[in-house]
Amino acid sequence: MNQKQITEFSLKDGTKFLAEVDEPENSNALVRVARPDTGQMVVEAKKKFDDVLDQIQPVASAIITKLSQLNTPADEVEVKFGIKLNAEAGAIFTSISGEANYEITLKWKQDKV
C-alpha cells in the first residue's frame, strides 16, 4: 500500500493549495518545500494544477464530441471519471468503481405533444 504525502499544487495565477497524494516510488526526485504560513514540509508538484487540468480537457472533449454524433443526441449527458493527482505526472485517470474508468449516463426526454 502506497504511503500518502501532502503535495503543494500551484495555479497559474500563483494560488497554492495542498492535496494528499500517493508517494511515488522515486521520491528522491521530488522537491520538498516549507509552507510559508505554517513551516510544514510538503512536496512541491512538478506541474501547475492548470496544466494537470489541461491533460483532462481533451479526454472530456473527445467523449462529448463522440456522444454528440449519435443519431439521436441525448438531451443530457453525464460523464464521471476518477482522477488521481500525482506529484510527478499530474493527473492519472483511475477507476470509479470496479473496472470501469468512465461512467456515462445519457438521458432523452419524451417529446411533448
SS (H, E, C) 37-106: CCCCEEEECCCCHHHHHHHHHHHHHHHHHHHHCCCCCCCEEEEEEEEEEECCCEEEEECCECCECEEEEE
Note the pLDDT tens digit of each residue in 94-113.
555 555 567 889 999 987 54
57 within a domain of the structure (yes/no): yes
In a domain, 80, yes or no: yes
Judge contact between 67 and 106, C-beta under 8 A: yes
Confidence check: pLDDT of 87 > 90: no
Residue 49 and residue 55: Cα distance in Å, rounded? 10
H or E element that contains 14: none
Number of domains in the chain: 1
Residue 113 lies in a domain: no
pLDDT, average across residues 26-32: 58
pLDDT at 27 exceeding the cut of 80: no
Q: Which domain holds residue 32?
A: 4-107
Residue 97 lies in a domain: yes
Nearest to 49 by CA among 8, 95, 96, 94: 8
| Residue carrying C-alpha cell 454524433 | 69
52 within some domain: yes
Residue 112 lies in a domain: no
In the predicted model, is pLDDT for residue 82 greater than 50? yes
* pTM, full prediction: 0.56
* Residue range 27-42: mean pLDDT, rounded: 62
